[in-house]
A and B are shown apart, each in its own frame.
Chain A
Amino acid sequence: MDDRRVAILGGGMYRPDRVRFDNAEEGVAMAYRQLLEDIPKLDPQEIQFVQSSYFSDHLNQQLCMSWIVQDYIGLHRKGGYRVEAGGSTPLDALINAYFLIKSGRYDLVLVAGWEWMSEVDTATTNEFIASASDTDWDFTVGGFYNGYYAALETRHMQLYGETIEDLGQIAVKNRNNAVHNPFSQWRAEHGTSYVALEDYYKDRIIAWPYRRWNCALISEGACCLLMGSEKVAKRLSKNPMWIDGVGIGTDSMRPGDRLANWAYHGVYKADEKIYPEKYEKPITPYPEMANFGFAREAAKQAYAQAGISDPLKELDVAELFAPYDGVELCLYEDLMFCPRGEGKTLIREGVVKRGGELPCQLSGGLTAFTHPVGATSLLQTLFLYWQLAGLIPKKLGDPTLQVKNARKAITTGHGGTGCQGGVIIYSRD
């Protein structure tokens, strides 16, 4: 593999919301247009490849939507294809584009991501999303991802003792970040006032232990990012954001199978030891149903490549793919910000809050900013790009969320019930 560096050179977004009536290709075109305004030196004809990212064919009654999108923006002579992996779709698209450039084959790749999720009613949207679970097994019992994820969180909570209040603190943190993000759905729905823990307790339980505020949003929106090799980076961008490391991991399709998870067996001995003694140990105590092994695997690869040994200290800002607040808490552990079982400490001590050592979800994340699946990691990456370039005050019209002197950032992807996902480490010069 070529040892040249790969960077995010800039991007544009189409503001996501619960329902948008511009259609997907128009949304992508408007995001692309923002990108072209941001990178005026880019000649569209220079783009060599379009990496498309969207999750569901069911949602829009359309296969091969990437062909519509690619021709709509006039890039249909160029190479291009889609990747798809549930919630991990957009992160995998970024990693794939990274590989395409890193291989030496291409110098300039456009990554286009979108999702239009409100063309069927909410229950049907949930069914379509849940059809990414095993439809012969998990899907048949409840047909609702919120339920599966809630069950995973119940297990973690029982083993490691975080409380409803901890989940509430994460929900409140993410909302009170999102009010400073004028592109967030929370701000569109709620306005700019802060919420407190007592407001969280009033929120309705959807699938215990999760309330509505703990769960990912349903969204329609788009984002485009330009990625390039070192050769083109300096010419096109004042603020290239380098990809220092990537990693991809997988776990079983059905979470219940993770009790005898032979692929992981004996790999994480320290984490197996932390398993509380009063509970009968399954054959494979880590990740079990309580943690996310794919994230550990991906983080291990990405940190090794990026030369990171103490992520909590070395990283300055995190945008995690956390569709549920318990996932965010578990990821603190699986991404090795803290030992297994200590996720609760990071929220209790404010480490992950605004102004903390490693603020997570300053954008508001999937539960308060937005979650148009195929665009989500692109939007989070664009947000990190603005962070590292110091552009938050300008782009959001509000300096509150800007992390001072941010140099290194992490983002993650997450599909299924933790079935697949990845990690990307970014940095600036």
Chain B
Amino acid sequence: MAREGKVIEDKATPIKKEWEAYARKGNWTVKGYEMVMAPTGPGKLEESREAEYMVIYRPHGVLYHHSYGLVSKFFKGLIEKQLLGTKCPKCNTVYCPPRVHCWNPACRVAETKWIELPLKGKVHTFSVMLFSADAFLEMLPFVLGYVQIEGADTALPIQIVTAPTEVFVGQKVRIRFREDRKGDLMDIYAMPVKGQAIPEDSCLHNNPQTIKDLNRDLENTYAFLEKRFGIKKEAAQRRWKAK
């Protein structure tokens, strides 16, 4: 039972046992402590005296069950290898990410209609992440893109799987589905269409020093990947090749 609703498809029961146990294990009780000496007081560091502190270790695990609401259709679509958006019948704005209600004040919260979108778009903007949250560390270097899907008027956050030194604003991309889809935006990724020339004015490329510096710090990231996860540089780079 998902709260008070009737379950019509169950892809949760097998994982509930595992994760509910984990959530219960971190139950806000103190598991250990350290005694620490450190500066106390409000003033300048050089004028501070030391005090003795007890630092406790208290885990807190949580398992959320969250409804995607009426945009659930979008996420179910990802699982079924469909990219969906919504269109306002009044102002014709196409939303991807979808909105079930149009946000144009002139449309007075009109209900939108679902439409299927093509698996292509262009990079509106991007960043090259050389550090990230725990869940994404193994995927570094991670190119975060905001991609405008063809036919949509807004931009979708999506991972761009490419050599970080080759991404640019305006780049055409194809949207692909991952094999192991769970129902979030990481079920899809973007891959640049082959054969595009990097524009001369690309802000990442218009100064050779920028690429040199990025390459230097990419090496640090590869070293981190190998040390932490045993992923070799070549293996990390192979991900960027289209299958």
Contact = CB atoms under 8 A, between A and B. Distances in A.
Interface of A: 12-15, 17, 19-22, 27, 30-31, 33-34, 61, 123-124, 126-127, 130, 136-138, 140-144, 146-155, 157-158, 161, 163-164, 182-183, 188, 201, 204-210, 252, 254-260, 262-263, 265, 279, 282-283, 289, 397
A155 B147 CA distance: 12
Interface stretch (B11-19, B97-105, B173-181, B233-241): B97-105
A208 B103 contact: no
Contacts, number: 198
Interface stretch (B1-9, B111-119, B202-210): B202-210
B203 A158 contact: yes
Given A155-B169, A182-B46, A254-B97, 14 more contacts: A34-B42, A137-B97, A142-B133, A142-B144, A142-B159, A144-B133, A147-B144, A155-B125, A201-B213, A260-B95, A262-B105, A262-B106, A265-B104, A283-B153
Of A33, A257, A263, the most chain B CB neighbours within 10 A belong to A257
Q: Which of B93, B154, B204 has the most CB of A within 10 A?
A: B154
A21 B154 CA distance: 45
How many chain B residues sit at the interface, stated as a range, is 35 or more
B170 to A, nearest CB: 8
Contact of B144 (A141, A182, A209, A258): A141
Interface string B146-177: 10100001111111000010000110000000
Given A140-B186, A144-B131, A154-B169, A255 B42 contact: no
B22 to A, nearest CB: 16
Contact of A260 (B68, B93, B145): B93
A183 B44 contact: yes
Interface of B: 28, 36, 38, 40-46, 48, 51, 53, 55, 58, 60, 66, 68, 71, 91, 93, 95, 97, 103-106, 124-137, 142, 144-146, 148, 153-159, 164, 169-170, 184-186, 201-204, 207, 209-210, 213-214, 217, 220
Contact of A147 (B103, B129, B217): B129
A255 B130 CA distance: 21
B127 A209 contact: yes
The SS class assigned to the B binding surface is mixed
B134 A124 contact: yes
B213 A205 contact: yes
B157 A138 contact: yes
B24 to A, nearest CB: 16
6 contacts: A15-B42, A150-B128, A157-B203, A209-B203, A259-B124, A262-B104
B41 A30 contact: yes
A140 B155 contact: no
Contacts of B129: 142, 144, 146-147, 150, 206-207
A123 B138 CA distance: 13
Given A13-B42, A283-B153, A289-B146, A127 B130 contact: no
Contacts of A257: 95, 97, 103, 154-155
